[in-house]
């Protein structure tokens, strides 16, 4: 008990210190990024610029003008500070420079996330699925090992994460139903799906401007199904709808929301296949690897759609108090991001709101 009390006091102390440092450094970095007249000369120092040039080479970045280069360098310097803050707040993961380190938080959210509406699980108008028994669940489980998950995809600078989350769930459901893994078309959803949430008509699927996975399921039920990636390939921008009903590869029969209890999420994952999930992506801009378990992460501000494919029993340890379980999440930012395109998030804490918007889908075999 004494060790746990000491550990708890230590964590609280770290939290308070990190928040104080975060506010100070954030104020400083925001002044640096937004007001050229008060940028410190040291921001453009040799060490920072060398690191920025290395970042550009690693991720194939280039900028059309000197002014744009300097602007991105300033943002990069601020994001290096942000990564250090995230590391302090999320010590069980590794944070640092990523392909998003030259983007402001607003740019990152606009271009690389895309879930609209915040995070109410019941927005679709459906009640959550009935509770399942959780006794006897495997200690570790991964749909990738069973062949139900396609390769990591890349949404590009398009807020279409919701479409990738949707297709991932349908790909897994079709594999379970038909025994065949197909890569399905996100572009059909980006181009053709205009479905709106029944409880809030402002929350509509609008291509690169964001959407909801439950809206997408409804569109697919009404449209008659989803084409394969090969027949309707991804372009990363919204275009004219070219959906051909004769090329439908998978039909959606039904879908359901999953209860918010994480044991129920695990049970539904094991029984029904990979699940579409919404979460708060704030720590993902700087994430490199490990199990993310931040001390502070809003559960309400859900802005990114991903695919839950599995879980592990022992992934990380805080202050040597024992290994803790985690979720395995497929993202849509390419294999160069995170752990070969995947994100590990601690399990059992409603972390970053990952339990608030979870859905499963059922497909028809024809």
Same-domain status, 119 and 82: no
Same-domain status, 131 and 45: no
Task: State how far the Cα of 90 lies from the Cα of 87, in Å rounded to an integer.
Answer: 5
Task: State how far the Cα of 354 lies from the Cα of 279, in Å rounded to an integer.
Answer: 5
In a domain, 99, yes or no: no
Same-domain status, 258 and 353: yes
Q: Which residues are catalytic?
A: 161, 304, 331
User: Whole domain around residue 47: which residue ranges?
Assistant: 2-89
Same-domain status, 142 and 267: yes
Same-domain status, 67 and 203: no
Q: Are the C-beta atoms of residues 277 and 162 closer than 8 Å to each other? A: no
Same-domain status, 267 and 218: yes
In a domain, 153, yes or no: yes
Same-domain status, 48 and 128: no
Domain boundary residue, one of 39, 54, 89: 89
Same-domain status, 62 and 202: no
Task: State how far the Cα of 311 lies from the Cα of 328, in Å rounded to an integer.
Answer: 5
In a domain, 102, yes or no: no
Same-domain status, 131 and 84: no
Count of structural domains within the chain = 2
Q: Are the C-beta atoms of residues 119 and 302 closer than 8 Å to each other? A: yes
In a domain, 299, yes or no: yes
pLDDT for the residue numbered 128: 78
Same-domain status, 127 and 224: yes
pLDDT for the residue numbered 25: 41
Same-domain status, 237 and 124: yes
Q: Beta strand pairing status for 342-346 and 200-204?
A: unpaired
Average pLDDT for runs of 10 along the chain of length 366: 41 44 40 38 72 97 97 97 97 97 98 83 67 95 98 98 98 97 98 90 92 97 98 98 98 97 98 98 98 95 97 78 88 98 96 97 90
Contacts of 244 (CB under 8 A, 6+ apart): 227, 231, 232
In a domain, 166, yes or no: yes
In a domain, 191, yes or no: yes
pLDDT for the residue numbered 129: 86
In a domain, 104, yes or no: no
Domain boundary residue, one of 89, 124, 145: 89
In a domain, 97, yes or no: no
Same-domain status, 29 and 120: no
Please report, for the domain that includes residue 357, its CATH number. Answer: 3.90.70.10
Strands (E), 143-274: 196-197, 200-204, 226-227, 248-257
């Amino acid at each position: 008990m004494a060790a746990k009390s000491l550990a708890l006091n230590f964590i609280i102390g770290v939290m308070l210190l990190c928040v104080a440092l975060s506010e100070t450094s954030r104020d400083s970095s925001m002044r640096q990024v937004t007001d050229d007249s008060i940028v410190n000369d040291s921001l453009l120092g040799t060490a920072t610029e060398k690191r920025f040039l290395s970042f550009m080479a690693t991720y194939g970045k280039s900028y059309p003008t000197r002014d744009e280069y300097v602007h991105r360098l300033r943002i990069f310097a601020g994001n290096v500070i942000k990564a250090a803050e995230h590391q302090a707040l999320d010590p069980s993961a590794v944070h640092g420079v990523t392909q998003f380190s030259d983007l402001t938080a607003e740019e990152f959210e606009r271009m690389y996330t895309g879930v609209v509406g915040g995070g109410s699980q019941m927005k679709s108008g459906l009640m959550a699925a009935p509770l399942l028994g959780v006794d006897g669940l495997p200690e570790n489980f991964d749909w990738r090992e069973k062949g139900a998950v396609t390769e990591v995809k890349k949404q590009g600078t398009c807020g279409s994460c919701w479409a990738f989350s949707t297709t991932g769930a349908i790909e897994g459901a079709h594999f379970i139903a038909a025994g065949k893994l197909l890569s399905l078309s996100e572009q059909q959803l980006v181009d053709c799906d205009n479905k709106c949430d029944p409880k809030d008509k402002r929350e509509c699927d609008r291509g690169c401007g964001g959407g909801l996975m439950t809206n997408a399921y409804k569109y697919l039920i009404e449209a008659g199904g989803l084409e394969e990636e090969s027949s309707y390939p991804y372009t990363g921008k919204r275009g004219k709808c070219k959906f051909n009903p004769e090329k439908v590869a998978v039909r959606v029969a039904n879908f359901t929301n999953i209860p918010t209890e994480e044991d129920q999420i695990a049970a539904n994952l094991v029984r029904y296949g990979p699940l579409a999930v919404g979460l708060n992506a704030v720590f993902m801009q700087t994430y490199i690897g490990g199990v993310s378990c931040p001390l502070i992460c809003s559960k309400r501000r859900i802005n990114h759609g991903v695919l839950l494919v599995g879980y592990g029993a022992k992934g990380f340890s805080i202050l040597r108090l024992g290994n803790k379980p985690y979720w395995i999440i497929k993202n849509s930012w390419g294999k160069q991001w995170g752990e070969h395109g995947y994100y590990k998030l601690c399990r059992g804490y409603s972390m970053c709101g990952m339990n608030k918007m979870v859905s499963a889908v059922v497909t028809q075999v024809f």
